[in-house]
Amino acid sequence: MSEWPVYRRSIERVNQLDQGERKLPDQTKLDESFSELAIDHLTFRYPEGDRNVVDDISLTVHAGEKIALLGPSGTGKSTLLKLIVGDLNPVDGKVLINGKPVSNLQKVRSEIFGILDQQPYLFNTTVMNNVRLGNPNASDDEVKAALAAVGLKDLIESLPEQYDTHVQEAGKRFSGGERQRLSLARILLQDAPVIILDEPTVSLDPITEKKLLDQVFKLLKDKTIIWVTHHLAGIGHVDQVRFLESGHFDMQGAPRKLYREEPRFRQLYDLDKGKPSD
C-alpha cells in the first residue's frame, strides 16, 4: 500500500485535538501500566482572552473509571480535553499520567489515549486499511475480529468487495453510525488504556446514538473513559459526572446521587428523557 506512510502520519494526528506546531519538552515513556490521570489545580486562558476558560480545576481518574464532562457549548469542555491530552499547556497547574507530566509523554501519546470524536478520521482506502491504522501490526484476522466486535461483520461481508471496499473520502460510503463503529474498531485495535469520547454521537439520531453508546461502553468496559457531552443521554454508563460551567465544576458526583440531590441535574435529565420537569 503505497499511501500507507501518508495515512499513518494522518492517523497520528487523530490523537491531536489541536493541530498547532509547538516545541516539546524532554520526552519520556510510561514504564508501567496506566493507573491514574490527575488534573491538579489546572488553569488556562487563551493569550487573547481576558478570563480563565479553565479555572483551578482538580480531578483524579483511576484506571477503569468512567467520567462524563457535561456542560453547554463554550464552557471549556474542549479546552479541558486539549489540556488533558497535552495539546495545550496550562497557565497554572498540571496534568499527570502515573505521576508524569503529560507534556513529557507526547511521543507515546497514542499508547495512552484513543480518541473517538464527532467526525471519524476515515481515508479513501479500504475498510481493512482504515481499521488497521489502529495497530499496523494487526493481522487480517485481528482486524476482522474488531469489525465483528463492533457489529459490522455482516454489513462488510455483504458488500461486493467485502473488506477491500473503499470507504471513500471521510467515510462517505457509510452512514454516520457506521463510520463511528469503524472508528471504534480502530480504537479496539489500538488498545490504549484511556479513551476520550468527544461528543461522538452529536450528529446521530437518538436510536443510533443509544446503540452506539451502549456498544462503546460494553466494548470498552475495562478502559478508562473521559466522555465530553452536552446532554445526558447514556449518562447511566458512567461512574462520575462533572458539570463544567464558567471554567469550574459546578456539579459533581455519581449520576444517581446528582439526580436525587440536584434539582438542576434532575431537570436536565428529565428533559433529555422527554419527561415533564417538576
Q: What is the pLDDT of residue 78?
A: 85
Across residues 202-225, what is the average pLDDT? 87
Backbone angles phi, psi at 92, to 5 degrees: -150, 160
Contact by Cβ (8 Å): 121, 10: yes
| 236-239 own/partner pairs: CB under 8 Å, 24+ apart | 237/66, 237/213, 238/66, 238/67, 238/68, 239/65, 239/66, 239/67
Instruction: Report pLDDT digits (tens) over 24-79.
Output: 888 889 888 999 999 999 999 988 878 889 999 999 999 999 999 988 777 778 88
* Cα 94 → chain centroid: 20
Entry pTM: 0.85
What's the grid cell of residue 128? Answer: 481493512
Overall fold of domain 31-73+94-273: Rossmann fold (3.40.50)
**Residue ranges of E strands in 84-157:** 92-97, 100-101, 113-117
- Which helix (H) or strand (E) segment is 39 a member of? strand 36-44
C-alpha distances in angstroms, 197 versus 73, 144, 212, 226? 16, 23, 12, 6
Instruction: Report pLDDT digits (tens) over 73-91.
Output: 777 788 899 999 999 999 9
Q: Where are the domains of the chain?
A: 31-73+94-273
